[in-house]
Structure 1
């Protein structure tokens, strides 16, 4: 028997029904992933299941005694005190009494303990106290620690404990991986796979979804469709369904156009024997008016600046820490133009610190940071601090202007925001009314309106729907500048970056070719000594070449070997050769900018272009060789 059944449920927030005739049953042991565009109604459906909202029409039936708990996206207001207080707060009156008892016990206020003990015994609270203690142990939480001093990821873990402590039959999770690091996400997957009840969850993390879901429920234009928990099969079948729908709509629209042309013929269409055809046309008009078109995709384009220098940033033997805690110790690397570098590490291990060192916002305690030339930086902040709360979406992007300029093309600010799925009304709405997904899209719109050749993105995937996430992947893959990316989305890292910097603990920063999966293959195994230095190629070109070599993809990082005399001489001569080639390329490029250059013979112009390409290839080869020898 289903734990819960929704029959013909409607729900509206104005305009077309957000949920239209929804049918859904939830069985014990199921792990249901809710999929849909931002604003499609996923969170609303969860609130209906939770009982926080009531349907406009239809029926929601629960099996007798079924308990439902929901983990929300945001930290609830008033969540403070110790971790024990917050977790016990999910148990109603008994939980509140237990939290008070623990506070009094720590304060050694023994006079007040007796009255609280009596209340706890009356509520069967000691059994509940044992349950809270067990949950804290399973989730590796210190009940005495102050909740407000925790990181975002640890707060999510505490709120998960608060949700599961009541042992609900249906556990609702809204973006449970937000602000969790990769290790915590792996742990959460294992924890939820052992959950005996039903789970309904919303996530943007495709790997988390693949690992956990036993069924996929898609919300599209108010309707629910159910698919087995196979993400790749869902994507393929959904594409087939949308293609069939598009063909059917095109056939319908063609027939409607023909009938509209016929009715305009006048008296011929009003003959008695054609009244049935007129009635069918009226019915077709109603059907077309009621059609809900598929939500369009975001149209992204990043405003690019001129090229930066070949070297974007160079770190030499830098160290940084706080007190006795070394976050980064004796780390050296060079990031070249065009590299796409991912930063991986547990929360609190120094990813943001390393990012600030790379950008020059922090100075190392020892060592040297050299920034490249002609850098124009655009920064995506995971906490959205660059969005002004007292401005609407339009003001945040346009900053008082009517137009934005993207790669030489002027676009009206309203039209530009429509590319990011903001209607004119939403563009002028207070930013406080925007959902998490809308805020992320707005931050992307603001970011990509800035000309840049160095794009820095700190957790850009939170709250984005899968379609927008995949479009962002495509844009970043084609971005002509340099990318620094902090993300805990494993698929996103694999699809975007060419190399990774990994915070491995005790101040060591590892450098690896490729994305997350490549790091898993290359990283030192437990008990294996960390490499004395890193061997991952620094440039995008060298990363691609190395990744295409089977030995490079499979072999662990090894220590530097001693160079032969010939190699040492070559390494010493390479900087001068690189300088000469860059000077030659600059001279040849300057000649092409001269007004009379294209008045030459076509053969001379072609020869000049060929020579320029050869010089560029030689420069790339020199940088690659220098990187290999220096490693």
Structure 2
């Protein structure tokens, strides 16, 4: 029996419908990830399921007696309620009575006692004491102080409280919209652990690829108003989606070719008209209408970074540098760091450990309170603000970017501002809309457009992945990898860090900043861990195993750890390895020929018209051959390097 059913649901806000007779079925226990580009309507779909938005057509059916709960996307900024009040609020009338009873119990006047007796009677009638026990139990389970006010908690702890509120009613289905936004890595790990223990169904929106891989049992994509289900893991979904898009392009090309032939036929002379088949004419009209109604998949963002003149080889050098605000503990201390042109650095640490402060210290925005900070020459900095503070919400996208200009210079080419915005997937109509109506993803893309329109040789990105869809995120990763200047990234997106940075700096909250070679996963392999994990506050079993298998790093050291295999000069190649090195070029040649043969086969016009099983098998064979070729080349480079040392 389906737990949740969406049957031909439609909703329109503009020229194209957000939902065009979209259908979806979710069974009990499924964890469904809803993917789609920014602006496709994912958050709106969740609001339709929760009842906040009424669709124009279709039905949303929840199984009889099923309970639905929502973990909101935005965290409260000025909520002065205690954690107990927030969680008990899941039971509207009972929660208010319980909060009132606790408040009255602190008072001793006669009026309060009289009111407390009436509240107690009502609570007993509502079975309130059992619900009170449930609230207390889940607060204890999540380690939440029931008397802490929500506005005094960090984002991670606020998310804990809101999740406790969502789960205390034992829902059958849980809706989550970008649950990892603005959370640090330990908080995300804790969230994954908590949700992994939830036995109900989940429908969630996320662009955090590591989170999706950990949580999703099925992928559903919202694409041009339709919901397409992929009963697969995230990585398998990526393969299937690529094949589906290729097949769609092939079918569209065949349709367009046939339509062109029919259009040529209908325009023939008088002789052809005498023999004209009226059924064929009607079919042509239907084809024209089908072509007119076709919703073409939106293009992919094509932005590039505007390079400034090269900075000096030295970007910044610190010697025993430290910084602290007056009457407070030092945020950074004993920092010895050298940043060179072309370095790509990721800053990792729990929220509040001083990552943004460290960036400002390195850029010269803050003056060191101890030690020295020496900046290099010809530094042109572009800054991506996680709070989107560089955007004027009262202006439209065009005015936010142009700053009075009609054309802008990008890598020596003059581009019209409107055309430049189209590269970031803003239509002319959308570019003239006020920024205040933009989604989070659209604001992030606009800020990237503004950032990359200015020459820079240092890019500083503070939480750039929040709200960006996966396609834009992957393009951003490619651009940063190709950027010739220096990149400093603050991010809690583990996969983004792995794909972009070549060096990780970890801030442990005590003022220490330690350097590690590689990205997030490399930091983990070298023994990196968060203080909260050591206390058992945020469980992450895999990370604990990693930590126990690696040597402990001394807090006072800020030098880059050196892998065990590179501490001593490697031994010369053995006879067996020499033979292997001699054989590898032949293997590489053979695999390259296999790849060329398969690519030639796939590029033939009739390839995709063959049996689906053969098409899929050939594509899989190509992927496997390319993977084997890459491994063989890596092995050849490794042995060649050893032989030359």
> Shorter-chain-normalised TM-score: which range?
0.7 to 0.9
- Counterpart Cα distance in 1 of 2:135 and 2:272: 76
Measure how far apart 1:554 and its partner are.
Answer: 13
Residue 579 of structure 1 corresponds to which residue in structure 2?
Answer: none
Greater shift after overlay, 115-124 or 177-186? 115-124
Counting only pairs closer than 5 Å after superposition, residues 366-377 of structure 1 correspond to structure 2 as: 366-377=370-381
Q: Please report how far the alpha carbon of residue 107 of structure 1 lies from its aligned counterpart in structure 2 after TM superposition.
A: 6.8
Give the corresponding residue for 1:39.
39
Give the whole-Å Cα distance in 1 for the aligned partners of 2:84 and 2:365: 38
In the alignment, the residues of structure 2 paired with residue 222 and residue 452 of structure 1 have an alpha-carbon distance, to the nearest angstrom, of 39
**Structure 2 segments unaligned to the other structure (5+ residues):** 529-546, 570-645
Q: How far is 1:192 from its partner?
A: 0.7
Q: Which runs of 5+ in 1 are unaligned?
A: 538-545, 556-631
Contact 1:499 1:536 survives alignment (8 Å): no
| CA pair 88-405 structure 1, distance change in 2 beyond 3 A | farther
* Equivalent-residue separation in structure 1 for 2:303 and 2:67 (angstroms): 43
Q: Is the 8 A contact 2:70 2:175 kept in 1?
A: yes
Q: How does 1:108-147 map to 2 (within 5 A)?
A: 110-111=112-113, 112-147=115-150
| SS at structure 2 position matched to 1:90 | coil
TM-score for the superposition, normalised by structure 1: 0.82
In 2, Cα distance between the equivalents of 1:85 and 1:266? 80
Aligned pair in 2 of structure 1 residues 465, 396: CA closer, same or farther (>3 Å)? same
Give the C-alpha shift of residue 165 in structure 1. 2.3
Q: Equivalent residue of 1:185, what SS?
A: helix
Deviation at residue 462 of structure 1 after TM alignment: 0.5
Deviation (angstroms), 1:446 = 0.9
Match of 1:167 among 170, 174, 189: 170
Label 1:182 to 1:267 Cα distance change in 2 as closer, same or farther (>3 A).
same
Are 1:198 and 2:201 counterparts? yes
- TM-score of the aligned structures, taking structure 2 as reference length: 0.80
C-alpha contact 1:342 1:515 (8 A) present in aligned 2: yes
Could you tell me how far 1:72 is from its partner in structure 2?
2.3
User: 1:276 maps to which residue?
Assistant: 279
1:400: Cα distance to partner? 2.2
Q: 1:457 aligns with which of 456, 461, 464?
A: 461
Per the alignment, residue 69 of structure 2 pairs with 69
> 1:470 and 2:474 equivalent?
yes
User: Map of 1:564-603 to 2, 5 A cutoff?
Assistant: none
2 CA distance for matches of 1:234 and 1:187? 26
Residue 9 (str. 1) matches residue 9 (str. 2): yes
Rounded to whole Å, the distance in 2 between the matches of 1:4 and 1:93 is: 27
> 2 CA distance for matches of 1:439 and 1:117?
50
Matched, 1:188 2:191: yes
Superposed displacement of residue 264, structure 1: 2.1
CA distance in 2, matches of 1:258, 1:108: 90
- SS of the residue corresponding to residue 18 of structure 1 reads strand
In the TM superposition, residue 393 of structure 1 has moved relative to its aligned partner by 1.3
> What CA distance in whole angstroms lies between the structure 1 residues aligned with 2:558 and 2:305?
32
Structure 2 distance, partners of 1:554, 1:11, is: 65
SS at match of 2:2: coil
Which secondary structure state, in structure 1, belongs to the residue aligned with residue 508 of structure 2?
strand
Match of 2:367 in 1: 363
Could you tell which deviates more after superposition, 520-529 or 179-188?
520-529
Deviations 1:59-118 (A, max 9, x none): 222211111112222236874322222233332121222233344456777545444434
The 1-side partners of 2:7 and 2:234 are apart by 26
Deviation at 1:277, TM superposition (A): 2.4
Match of 2:207, SS? coil
Q: Distance in 1 between matches of 2:401 and 2:424?
A: 12
Would the aligned equivalents of 2:88 and 2:135 in 1 still touch at CA under 8 Å? Answer: yes
Q: Which of 232, 236, 241 pairs up with 2:239? A: 236
The answer to whether the Cα contact below 8 Å between 2:335 and 2:558 also exists between their aligned partners in 1 is no
Aligned pair in 2 of structure 1 residues 107, 289: CA closer, same or farther (>3 Å)? farther
Q: Structure 1 residue 478: deviation in Å?
A: 0.7
**In 2, distance between residues paired with 1:476 and 1:444?**
12
Distance in 1 between the 2:90 and 2:442 partners?
30
Task: Identify the residue that residue 528 of structure 1 maps to in structure 2.
Answer: 552
Q: Deviations over 1:454-507 (max 9, x none)?
A: 100000000111111101101111111100000000000000000000012422
Q: How many residues in Structure 1 have an aligned counterpart in Structure 2? A: 545
Residues 79 and 86, structure 1, Cα contact 8 Å, conserved in 2: no
> Deviation per CA, 1:144-183, whole angstroms, max 9, x where unpaired?
2222233333333332222222221110000000011011
Root-mean-square deviation (CA, aligned residues, Å) is 2.3
* Aligned-residue offset at 1:324: 6.0
2:161 aligned residue: 158
Q: Deviations over 1:587-616 (max 9, x none)?
A: xxxxxxxxxxxxxxxxxxxxxxxxxxxxxx
Equivalent-residue separation in structure 2 for 1:229 and 1:137 (angstroms) = 36
Over 3 Å counting, the alpha-carbon distance change for 1:284 and 1:334 in structure 2 is same
**Residue 387 of structure 1 pairs with residue 391 of structure 2:** yes
Cross-structure match for 2:83: 83
Q: Which moved more, 1:199-208 or 1:90-99?
A: 90-99
2:522 to 518, 528, 532: 518
> What is the aligned partner in structure 2 of residue 96 from structure 1?
96
How much has 1:433 moved relative to structure 2?
A: 0.5
Which residue, out of 213, 217, 225, partners 1:210?
213
Cα separation, 1, equivalents of 2:506 and 2:377: 26
Matches of 1:328 and 1:253, distance apart in 2: 63
1:551 to 552, 562, 565: 565
Paired residues of 1:309 and 1:372 also in contact (CA < 8 A): yes
Q: Which range moved further: 490-499 or 217-226? A: 217-226
2:490 corresponds in structure 1 to 486
Identify the residue that residue 319 of structure 2 maps to in structure 1. Answer: 316
Residue pair 1:80, 1:86 contacting (<8 A) in 2 also: no
